[in-house]
Amino acid sequence: MPDTQALVNDFLNKLKKRKIEGSQATAKQTAELLRSVISQTRMPYTNQAAALIHSVKAVGERLIAANPVELAVGNVVRRVLHIVREEDLSLTTAAMAGLNLSAESDDEDDTDRDNHPALSAAAIAAASRSTLRPPSLQTLLEDVPDSAAVPHTSSSGGDSEGKSKSADKSSRSRKLKHDVIEAVNELIQDISTCHELIAEQAVEHIHQNEVILTLGSSRTVLEFLCAAKEKKRSFRVFVAEGAPRYQGHLLAKELVTRGLQTTLITDSAVFAMISRVNMVIVGAHAVMANGGVIAPVGLNMVALAAQKHAVPFVVLAGSHKLCPLYPHHPEVLLNELRSPSELLDFGEFSDCLDFGSGIGAPLLHVVNPTFDYVPPKLVSLFITDTGGHNPSYMYRLIADYYSADDLVLERRTTSGN
Amino acid sequence: MDPRRTARTVSDPKVRQVGFFTPAPPERSISDPPRFQDPIQPPSPSPTQVNDHSPSGNSLSPVMIPPAHHHSDNFLRTALQVTSPTKAFSYSAKTVTIPPENEDVASSFSPGRKVVSAKSPSSFPGVKASSVPASELTTVSVVNLPPGISEKAGGASVEVQNDRPVSAKTLKEKTSKAERRALQEAQRAAKAAAKAEGTKASSAASKVVTSANTKPSKAAKSSSQKNDGSQVAASEKKGGDRAPEKDRKKDAPHPRMQYDDKSRVEKAKKRAVVKQTEARNRVELFRHLPQYEHGTQLPDLETKFFELDPMHPAVYKVGLQYLSGDIRGGNARCIAMFQAFKEAIKDYSTPPEKTLIRDLTARISSYVSFLIECRPLSISMGNAIKFLKNRIAKLPLALSESEAKSTLMLDIDRFINEKIILSEKVIVKHAVTKIQDGDVLLTYGASSVVEMILLHAHELGKHFHVVVVDSRPKLEGQLLLRRLVRKGLSCTYTHVNAVSCIMQDVTRVFLGASSVLSNGTVYSRVGTACVAMVAHAFRVPVLVCCEAYKFHERVQLDSICFNELGNPDAISKVQGREEINYLDGLVNQENLQLLNLIYDATPSDYVSMIITDYGMIPPTSVPVIVREYRRDHLWS
Alpha helices in A67-136 (DSSP H): 71-103, 110-115, 117-131
Do B510 and B538 belong to one domain? yes
Is residue A417 domain-resident?
A: no
- Mean pLDDT taken over chain A: 80
A331 has a pLDDT exceeding 90: no
Distance CA B560, CA B479 (A): 28
Is residue A105 domain-resident?
A: yes
Do A293 and A240 belong to one domain? yes
A278 touches B at CB < 8 Å: no
Do A37 and A140 belong to one domain? yes
**Beta-carbon separation of A268 and B574 below 8 A:** no
Q: In whole angstroms, how far apart are CA B499 and each of A152, A297, A306, A311, B531? A: 49, 9, 16, 21, 7
Q: In whole angstroms, how far apart are CA A176 and each of A35, A169, A173, B464? A: 13, 11, 6, 63
- The answer to whether the CB of A79 falls within 8 A of the CB of A322 is no
Q: Which chain B residues have a beta carbon less than 8 Å from that of A343? A: 470, 493-495
A333 has a pLDDT exceeding 60: yes
SS3 category, A333: helix
Output helix, strand, coil percentages for chain A, rounded to the nearest 5.
55, 10, 30
B 574-603 → A contacts, CB under 8 A: 574, 576-577, 580, 582-583, 586, 589, 591-597, 600-601, 603
Q: Quote the minimal CA–CA distance from A410 to chain B in Å.
A: 30
**Beta-carbon separation of A298 and B600 below 8 A:** no
Contacts of residue B95, Cβ cutoff 8 Å, sequence gap at least 6: none
Do A374 and A235 belong to one domain? yes
Of A265, A73, A44, A52, the closest CA to residue B568 belongs to: A265
Phi then psi for residue B58, to 5 deg, are: -95, 30
B 533-562 → A contacts, CB under 8 A: 533-534, 537, 558-560
Report the percentage of chain A scoring pLDDT > 70.
77
- The answer to whether the CB of A315 falls within 8 A of the CB of A282 is yes
Do A34 and A164 belong to one domain? yes
pLDDT (0 to 100) of residue B196: 52
**Beta-carbon separation of A269 and B472 below 8 A:** no
Closest residue in chain B to residue A253, using alpha carbons only? B583
**How confident is the model over B602-613, as a mean pLDDT?**
93
pLDDT (0 to 100) of residue B309: 62
Do B414 and B444 belong to one domain? no
The number of distinct structural domains making up chain B is: 2
Do B451 and B404 belong to one domain? no
pLDDT tens, B229-247? 444 434 444 444 444 455 5
Distance CA A305, CA B600 (A): 13
A356 has a pLDDT exceeding 70: no
Is residue B573 domain-resident?
A: no
Distance CA A149, CA A166 (A): 20
Is residue B459 domain-resident?
A: yes
Do A146 and A224 belong to one domain? no
Q: Quote the minimal CA–CA distance from A368 to chain B in Å.
A: 6
- The answer to whether the CB of B296 falls within 8 A of the CB of B373 is no
Cis peptide before B376 (omega within 30 of 0): no
pLDDT (0 to 100) of residue B543: 95
Do A151 and A250 belong to one domain? no
SS3 category, A321: helix
Strand duo B609-612 + B542-545: pairing: parallel
Strand duo B522-525 + B599-602: pairing: antiparallel
Q: Quote the minimal CA–CA distance from B263 to chain A in Å.
A: 27
**Beta-carbon separation of A271 and B529 below 8 A:** yes
pLDDT (0 to 100) of residue B293: 62
Q: Among residues A161, A193, A225, which one ends one of the domains?
A: A193
Higher pLDDT, B45 or A238: A238
Is residue A346 domain-resident?
A: no
Q: How many CB pairs under 8 A join A and B?
A: 191
pLDDT (0 to 100) of residue B183: 64
Is residue A389 domain-resident?
A: yes
pLDDT tens, A63-73? 888 888 888 89
**How confident is the model over B262-286, as a mean pLDDT?**
70
Q: How far apart are the first and last CA of chain B?
A: 17
Do B480 and B394 belong to one domain? no
Do B405 and B441 belong to one domain? no
- The answer to whether the CB of B543 falls within 8 A of the CB of B510 is yes
Distance CA B630, CA B636 (A): 7
Is residue A16 domain-resident?
A: yes
SS3 category, A73: helix
Do A58 and A173 belong to one domain? yes
B460 has a pLDDT exceeding 90: yes
Q: Where are the strands (E) in B518-572, listed by range? A: 522-525, 542-545, 551-552
A 257-276 → B contacts, CB under 8 A: 257, 259-273, 275-276
- The answer to whether the CB of A183 falls within 8 A of the CB of A401 is no
pLDDT tens, B313-335? 888 888 888 888 888 888 899 99
Nearest to B500 among A300, A343, A361 (CB): A300
Is residue B512 domain-resident?
A: yes
Amino acid sitting at position A54: H
* CATH code at position B344: 1.20.120.420
pLDDT (0 to 100) of residue A334: 85
Choice among A272-276, A309-313, B564-568 with the minimum mean pLDDT: B564-568
Do B474 and B414 belong to one domain? no
pLDDT (0 to 100) of residue B28: 42
Distance CA B289, CA B272 (A): 16
* CATH code at position A119: 1.20.120.420
Gyration radius (Cα) of chain B, Å: 26
SS3 category, A274: helix
SS3 category, B467: strand
pLDDT tens, B396-439? 888 888 888 898 999 999 999 988 999 999 999 999 999 999 99
Distance CA B416, CA B424 (A): 11
pLDDT tens, B543-593? 999 998 999 888 999 898 888 888 888 888 887 777 778 888 777 788 888
Q: Among residues A164, A193, A222, which one ends one of the domains?
A: A193
SS3 category, B139: coil
Is residue B227 domain-resident?
A: no
A236 has a pLDDT exceeding 80: yes
Distance CA A2, CA A6 (A): 6
Do B530 and B396 belong to one domain? no
Q: In whole angstroms, how far apart are CA A270 and each of A267, A408, B632? A: 6, 39, 38
Q: Residues in chain B, how many?
A: 636
**Beta-carbon separation of A265 and B597 below 8 A:** yes
pLDDT (0 to 100) of residue B536: 95
A 346-405 → B contacts, CB under 8 A: 348-349, 352, 355-356, 361, 363-369, 372
* CATH code at position A324: 3.40.50.10470
Of A72, A93, A96, the closest CA to residue A286 belongs to: A72
Is residue A133 domain-resident?
A: yes
CA A331 to chain centre: 19
Of B93, B51, B41, the closest CA to residue B71 belongs to: B41
B233 touches A at CB < 8 Å: no
Do A317 and A218 belong to one domain? yes
Do A16 and A116 belong to one domain? yes
pLDDT (0 to 100) of residue B279: 63
CA atoms within 13 A on the CB side of A57: 20
Is residue B392 domain-resident?
A: yes
Choice among A27-31, A168-172, B131-135, B394-398 with the minimum mean pLDDT: B131-135
pLDDT (0 to 100) of residue B299: 64
pLDDT tens, A185-230? 999 999 999 989 999 999 999 989 999 999 988 889 999 999 999 9
Distance CA B329, CA B481 (A): 16
CA atoms within 13 A on the CB side of B154: 33
Is residue A183 domain-resident?
A: yes
pLDDT (0 to 100) of residue A310: 95
Helix axes B356-374, B330-346, angle to 10 degrees: 140
Of B333, B338, B327, B322, the closest CA to residue B388 belongs to: B338
Q: What is the 3-state secondary structure (H, E, C) of B564-583?
A: CECCCHHHHCCCCCCCCCCC
Torsion of CA A203, A209, A214, A217, to 10 degrees: 60
Do B469 and B361 belong to one domain? no
Alpha helices in A283-338 (DSSP H): 299-308, 330-333
Do B466 and B327 belong to one domain? no
Do A171 and A227 belong to one domain? no
Do A149 and A266 belong to one domain? no
Distance CA B390, CA B379 (A): 16
Is residue A38 domain-resident?
A: yes
**Beta-carbon separation of A267 and B497 below 8 A:** yes
Do B479 and B602 belong to one domain? yes
Range of the domain at A68: 4-193
Strand duo A293-296 + A371-374: pairing: antiparallel
A250 has a pLDDT exceeding 80: yes
Do B376 and B457 belong to one domain? no
Higher pLDDT, A347 or A71: A71
A69 touches B at CB < 8 Å: no
Q: Among residues B385, B419, B453, which one ends one of the domains?
A: B419
Is residue B88 domain-resident?
A: no
Alpha helices in B377-527 (DSSP H): 379-393, 401-414, 423-432, 448-459, 476-486, 499-502
- Mean pLDDT taken over chain B: 69
Q: Among residues B371, B388, B419, which one ends one of the domains?
A: B419
Nearest to A267 among B496, B560, B582 (CB): B496
**Beta-carbon separation of A372 and B497 below 8 A:** yes
Contacts of residue A146, Cβ cutoff 8 Å, sequence gap at least 6: A127
Range of the domain at B525: 434-563+598-635
pLDDT (0 to 100) of residue A39: 87
DSSP per-residue string spanning B284-336: GGGTTS--B-TTSHHHHHHHGGGT-SSS-HHHHHHHHHHHHTSS-SHHHHHHH
**Beta-carbon separation of B498 and A369 below 8 A:** yes
Do A172 and A221 belong to one domain? no
Do B451 and B387 belong to one domain? no
The number of distinct structural domains making up chain A is: 2
- The answer to whether the CB of A288 falls within 8 A of the CB of A317 is no
Gyration radius (Cα) of chain A, Å: 24
pLDDT (0 to 100) of residue B75: 45
Q: How confident is the model at residue B300 (pLDDT cuts 50, 70, 90)?
A: low
Q: Among residues A193, A213, A230, which one ends one of the domains?
A: A193
Is residue B187 domain-resident?
A: no
Distance CA B301, CA B317 (A): 10
A243 touches B at CB < 8 Å: yes
Q: Among residues B419, B446, B478, which one ends one of the domains?
A: B419
Choice among A57-61, A320-324, B238-242, B579-583 with the minimum mean pLDDT: B238-242
Strand duo B439-444 + B508-512: pairing: parallel
pLDDT tens, B163-204? 444 444 444 444 556 566 666 666 666 665 555 544 444 444
